[in-house]
């Protein structure tokens, strides 16, 4: 297409003084990956394509179903049973033949996430499950790539931008450090969703992306925007980064590959918690590494049994110190040790049994005081 036609196509946004030809150039040189071509992905893709983003990637391994059509407005009945990534690419390319659209008809997993994300400047999370969301978040933190986040349930939506430029930028784990377990939060298939809601939220995600690329306005960095479609209530929360968050995220690409995100979201935590009695039995049986994950100065001191001292924040860096096939983490109250158990299970997978001492060392000392001598 000629330059004149390009100018004509984007004329109405080029004449915005904030955007201008320079902004349009930035959009043309931008590379955006949309993860999930579903309820949120479809509207985001339509507006990003129309706006003239130069390179758009679409990753989704799902196929179009009849019950998608009330909200995934890119598709028609003729697309049922076909790959979403491929159909979306075909349809969007007709809307704007001058941009490059790449379809990845594959499942996003640890093995392909980092390499794929490297190719793009900005990632858009339009997925529909927690394990993928946490994986995308962690990958973007590792790669320092901005992530545009949106999520919906029934009549309500959330939008945020995780800048990932430095430690002050909030990421998803600063808001919700650990994923809810399977079944704790219902997805759209279980709880339902009003079709127009992802249209609104997905369009906002496209808007945030365009703002990030062109540098205009104020993207939702360190902010969580919420919208209720029933009463039009908008509520915007200020977020701040947590020091502990970094310890939940794999420290490098190798640790990332070893993370089991499906396990993180599926396995009931209670199974890995043990009480004082089992704890004592395991210690007397031997073949167990007990780890104090508290900070060095924390009281009460423990001299009743042998243990390693690795504070929670340093755990993933020092996992090589752990030799035994059984690990029990403990802390003051049993909360941090649960996080530690999750981190260690993520690192070691099925190769080691990881437990957390329920109620922490305080409870253990109380139980011990009650024991007859």
Partner 1 sequence: MSVKIILFGKLAEIAGGAVSVENVADTDSLINTLHKDYPEFAQTKYLIAVDKQVIKENTVLNKKSTVALLPPFSGG
186 binds partner 1 (CB under 8 A): yes
If binding means CB under 8 A, how many residues of this protein chain bind partner 1? 43
Q: Give the three-class secondary structure for 235.
A: strand
Q: Report in angstroms the alpha-carbon separations of 197 from 6, 260, 345.
A: 32, 31, 37
Nearest to 2 by CA among 89, 94, 98: 98
Q: What is the dihedral of CA 12, 16, 19, 21, to 10 degrees?
A: 60
CB of 137 to partner 1, least distance (A): 12
Q: How far is the CB of 72 from partner 1 (least distance, A)?
A: 10
- Least distance CB 140 / partner 1 (angstroms): 16
Which of these segments, 15-23, 93-101, 184-192, 298-306, binds partner 1 (CB under 8 A)?
Answer: 184-192
If one asks whether residue 191 binds partner 1 (CB under 8 A), the answer comes out as yes
Q: What angle do CA 194, 198, 201 make, to 5 degrees?
A: 130
- At residue 60, the 3 state secondary structure works out as coil
Is position 130 an interface residue for partner 1 (rule: CB under 8 A)? yes
Closer of 231 and 285 to partner 1 (Cβ): 231
Q: Does 152 bind partner 1 (CB under 8 A)?
A: yes
Q: Among the residues of the chain, which ranges form H helices?
A: 3-9, 11-14, 20-29, 41-51, 84-95, 110-118, 130-143, 172-175, 188-191, 196-214, 245-248, 253-258, 261-266, 276-285, 335-348, 360-370
Choice from 239, 274, 278, 302 touching partner 1 (CB under 8 A): 239
- Which of 236, 366 has the CB closer to partner 1? 236
- CB of residue 337 to partner 1, shortest distance in Å: 18
CA gap 326, 339 in Å, rounded: 16
CB atoms within 10 A of CB 350: 8
193 binds partner 1 (CB under 8 A): yes
Binders of partner 1 in range 195-214 (CB under 8 A): 198
Min dist CB 240 to partner 1, Å, is 7
Interface stretch with partner 1, choices 62-70, 112-120, 223-231, 348-356 (CB under 8 A): 223-231
The yes or no reply on residue 237 touching partner 1 (CB under 8 A) is yes
Interface residue with partner 1, options 25, 226, 267, 314 (CB under 8 A): 226
Contact 96/54 with Cβ under 8 angstroms? no
Residues in the chain: 373
Find out whether 98 and 55 touch, Cβ atoms under 8 Å. Answer: no
- Least distance (Å) between residue 133 CB and partner 1: 7
Count of Cβ atoms closer than 10 Å to residue 220 Cβ: 23
Query: Which residues are known to be catalytic?
Result: 188, 331
159 phi/psi in degrees, rounded to 5: -135, 140
Stretch that binds partner 1, among 82-90, 221-229, 252-260, 331-339 (CB under 8 A): 221-229
Q: Is 334 in the site for partner 1 (CB under 8 A)?
A: no
- Asked if residue 176 binds partner 1 (CB under 8 A), the reply is yes
**Does position 79 bind partner 1 by CB under 8 A?**
no
Looking at the DSSP bridge assignments, the partners of residue 89 are: none
Judge contact between 126 and 45, C-beta under 8 A: no
Can residue 93 be called a binding residue for partner 1 (CB under 8 A)? no
Question: Cα-Cα-Cα-Cα dihedral of 137, 142, 146, 147, to 10°?
Answer: -10
Q: Establish if 238 lies at the interface with partner 1 (CB under 8 A).
A: yes
Residues at the interface with partner 1 (CB under 8 A): 36, 38-41, 125-130, 133, 150-154, 156-158, 175-176, 178-180, 184-188, 191, 193, 198, 224, 226, 228, 235-240, 242
């Amino acid at each position: 297409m000629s330059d004149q036609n390009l100018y004509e196509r984007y004329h109405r946004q080029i004449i915005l003084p904030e955007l201008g030809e320079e902004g349009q150039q930035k959009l043309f040189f931008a590379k955006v990956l949309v993860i999930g071509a579903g309820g949120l992905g479809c509207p985001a893709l339509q507006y990003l394509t129309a706006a003239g983003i130069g390179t758009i990637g679409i990753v989704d391994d799902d196929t179009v179903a009849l019950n998608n059509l009330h909200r995934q407005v890119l598709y028609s009945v003729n697309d049922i049973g076909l790959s979403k990534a491929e159909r979306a690419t075909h349809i969007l390319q007709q809307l704007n033949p001058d941009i490059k659209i790449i379809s990845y008809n594959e499942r996003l997993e640890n093995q392909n996430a980092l390499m794929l994300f490297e190719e793009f400047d900005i990632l858009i999370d339009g997925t529909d499950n927690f394990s993928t969301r946490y994986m995308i978040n962690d990958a973007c933190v590792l790669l320092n790539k901005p992530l545009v986040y949106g999520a919906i349930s029934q009549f309500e939506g959330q939008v945020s931008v995780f800048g990932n430029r430095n430690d002050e930028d909030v990421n998803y784990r600063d808001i919700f450090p650990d994923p809810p377990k399977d079944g704790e939060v219902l997805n759209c298939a279980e709880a339902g969703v009003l079709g127009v809601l992802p249209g609104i939220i997905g369009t906002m995600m496209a808007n945030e992306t365009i703002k990030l690329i062109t540098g205009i306005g104020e993207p939702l960095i360190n902010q969580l925007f919420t919208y209720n479609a029933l009463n039009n209530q908008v509520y915007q929360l200020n977020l701040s980064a947590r020091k502990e968050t970094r310890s939940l995220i794999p420290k490098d690409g190798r640790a990332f590959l070893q993370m089991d995100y499906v396990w993180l979201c599926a396995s009931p935590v209670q199974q890995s918690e043990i009480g004082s009695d089992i704890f004592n039995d395991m210690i007397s049986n031997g073949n167990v590494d007990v780890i104090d994950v508290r900070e060095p100065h924390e009281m009460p001191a423990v001299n009743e049994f042998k243990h390693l001292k690795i504070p929670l924040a340093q755990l993933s860096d020092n996992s090589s110190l752990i030799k035994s096939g059984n690990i029990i983490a403990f802390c003051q109250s049993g909360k941090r040790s649960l996080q530690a158990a999750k981190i260690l299970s993520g690192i070691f997978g099925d190769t080691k049994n990881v437990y957390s001492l329920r109620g922490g060392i305080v409870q253990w000392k109380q139980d011990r005081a009650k024991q007859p001598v």
